[in-house]
Amino acid sequence: MQIRHLGRAAYLPTYEAMQAFTAGRDADTPDELWLCEHPPVFTQGLAGQTGHLLEPGNIPVIQTNRGGQVTFHGPGQVMAYPLVNLQRAGYYVKEYVYKLEESVIRTLAHFGVTGHRVAGAPGIYVRLDDPFIHAALTGPANPSDPFKGLGKISALGIKVSRHCTYHGVAMNVAMDLEPFERINPCGYAGLKTVDLSTMGVDTTWDEAAQVLAKQLDARL
């Protein structure tokens, strides 16, 4: 896998470049992993509902063809875009998503943080009371609030075209989290969003991106 560091990159040209790369690749094109951070932007998935955009204000909203609902991208967030030929790799989409989530979980573990999955809600979550312990949340399950006690640290949305992936995964490192309050993150009202910085993890964007890239490269 060829790893490309794009630095600070505007969202729309990056999105268009992923589409062009995918449309132009053939059976022998090497897979790539693009790493970047974006200026502030809200992006809507194919299932996106305008009602989940509460007060976007002066932050642009871009419609995309990825799965999922609305999310926010901004400085201090690692964006990882794997451009993978699933047919050649022998992965089903469900397995691919698992590998993305597992890469984030392993990256968080590098910094001492325990990541959790929530059934039916792609992405990775952490315990708000103590993100460093391994214990699962206790108490009866609450179907009306599957995120009780959890905050979202990583969002995931992909597109598969001709067996090849684009879009990818976002991991929050040290962001201005206020824009997440202007939306229902990933379509869930009241879902709290966190980053490594607010949990007391002292790291840089570059270090977090390097660790995540290593984990993705090992699994993909």
Note if 186 is an active site residue: yes
Pairwise CA distance, residues 102 & 125, whole Å: 12
Mean pLDDT in residue range 40-48: 90
pLDDT digits (tens, 9 = 90+) for 150-197: 999 999 999 999 999 999 999 999 999 999 999 988 788 888 999 999
Pairwise CA distance, residues 14 & 7, whole Å: 11
* Cα-to-chain-centroid distance, residue 34: 13
Mean pLDDT in residue range 208-215: 98
Question: Domain residues of the chain, as ranges?
Answer: 2-219
Residue 216 or residue 190, greater confidence: 216
Mean pLDDT in residue range 31-53: 92
Q: At what angle do helices 205-219 and 93-110 cross, to 10 degrees?
A: 140
Closest CA to 41 of 199, 175, 160: 175
Q: What is the pLDDT of residue 48?
A: 78
Instruction: Inform me whether the pLDDT recorded for 142 exceeds 70.
Output: no
**118, 150 in Cβ contact below 8 A?**
yes
Phi, psi of 31 (to 5 degrees): -65, 150
Q: What percent of the chain has pLDDT over 70?
A: 95
Q: What is the pLDDT of residue 127?
A: 93
pTM more than 0.85: yes
Q: What is the pLDDT of residue 141?
A: 56
Mean pLDDT in residue range 67-78: 94
Q: What is the pLDDT of residue 133?
A: 86
**3 state SS for 5-40:** EEEECCHHHHHHHHHHHHHHCCCCCCCEEEEEECCC
Find the farthest-apart pair of alpha carbons in the chain and give their distance in angstroms, rounded.
Answer: 51
Residue tagged active-site, from 86, 100, 124, 186? 186
Q: What is the pLDDT of residue 144?
A: 62
Tell me the DSSP string of 47-103. T--GGGB---TTS-EEE-SSSSS-EEE-TTEEEEEEE-BHHHHT--HHHHHHHHHHH
Q: What is the pLDDT of residue 96?
A: 97
CA atoms within 13 A of residue 125's CA, in its CB half-sphere: 22
* Candidates 3.40.30.10, 3.30.930.10, 3.40.50.2300, 3.40.50.300; CATH matching 2-219: 3.30.930.10
Residue 164: CB atoms within 10 A of its CB come to 19
pLDDT digits (tens, 9 = 90+) for 77-124: 999 999 999 999 999 999 999 999 999 999 999 999 999 998 888 999
Closest CA to 42 of 203, 164, 145, 157: 157
